[in-house]
């Protein structure tokens, strides 16, 4: 089975000159793409309340994200990414306290686990990659995604994928360095698109999510309603 990757990322609010700045720093625009994301959960949002995020992306299949053990504190997130369906099913069964024998397909277990679509939206993305000046030529580039969702929310993220927890601090240093070069304030965070979608279209569910987490534990960049989410 493929090893799960640890996604270290930092979200930010892009400005009108972000793409120009990426070009100045030597970034390469890989592609512009439009896709639909659909998130699945129980009616009570049992997965999201446990900081698990099950997504089906148009053309890319299923992905489950859940938090790894934070190695470094700060305005970033560290999530384990599962994309192999049997591993996703096993984790879903564990977090939901279910036991479904012989099920290797996510689609097959949606019904038995009581999972249904809770959010769906289209995103236009500009995907960039960039190797910081002075970095080893063999070092994997940082990825910068600039997204605009069809409900009007724009967010950027600087991301590195690593295999081991020991690699997280170095990846985070690079992410913070590039974020600074892009003019992102040191402690700025930005909510994930799905969080903003819930806030706008399922406000009661959004409030219920906020009640589960303390301010230090909010999922994927959430903030209290009276903060900068507005």
49 a known binding residue?
Answer: no
159 a known binding residue?
Answer: yes
**What residues have CB less than 8 Å from 189, skipping those under 6 apart?**
10, 11, 12, 75, 221, 223
Calpha distance 4→140 (Å, rounded): 17
124 a known binding residue?
Answer: no
145 a known binding residue?
Answer: yes
94 a known binding residue?
Answer: no
Which helix (H) or strand (E) segment holds residue 120: the answer is strand 116-130
**What residues have CB less than 8 Å from 66, skipping those under 6 apart?**
50, 51, 52, 53, 79, 80, 82, 91, 95
| Bridge pairing between strands 116-130 and 77-82 | unpaired
Residue 53 near residue 126 (C-beta atoms within 8 A): no
193 a known binding residue?
Answer: yes
57 a known binding residue?
Answer: yes
Known binding positions for substrate: 11, 55, 57, 65, 125, 157, 193
Annotated binding residues, written as ranges, equal: 7, 9, 11, 55, 57, 65, 125, 145, 157, 159, 193
Query: Binding site for Mg(2+): which residues?
Result: 7, 9, 145, 157, 159
């Amino acid at each position: 089975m493929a090893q799960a990757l640890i996604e270290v990322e930092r979200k930010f609010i892009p400005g009108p000159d972000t793409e120009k700045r990426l070009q100045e720093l030597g970034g390469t625009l890989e592609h512009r793409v439009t896709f639909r994301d659909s998130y699945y959960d129980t009616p009570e949002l049992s997965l999201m309340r446990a900081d698990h995020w099950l997504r089906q992306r148009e053309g890319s299949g299923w992905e489950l994200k859940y938090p790894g053990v934070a190695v470094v504190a700060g305005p970033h997130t560290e999530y384990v990414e599962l994309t192999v369906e049997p591993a996703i099913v096993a984790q879903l069964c564990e977090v939901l306290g279910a036991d479904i024998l012989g099920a290797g397909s996510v689609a097959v277990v949606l019904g038995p686990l009581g999972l249904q679509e809770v959010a769906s939206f289209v995103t236009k993305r500009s995907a960039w990659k960039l190797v910081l000046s002075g970095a080893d030529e063999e070092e994997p580039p940082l990825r910068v995604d600039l997204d605009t969702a069809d409900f009007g929310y724009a967010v950027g993220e600087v991301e590195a994928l690593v295999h081991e927890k020991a690699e997280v601090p170095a990846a985070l240093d690079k992410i913070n360095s590039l974020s600074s070069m892009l003019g992102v304030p040191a402690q700025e965070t930005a909510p994930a698109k799905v969080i903003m979608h819930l806030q706008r279209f399922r406000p009661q569910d959004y409030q219920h999510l906020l009640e589960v987490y303390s301010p230090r534990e909010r999922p994927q960049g959430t903030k209290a309603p009276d903060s900068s989410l507005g």
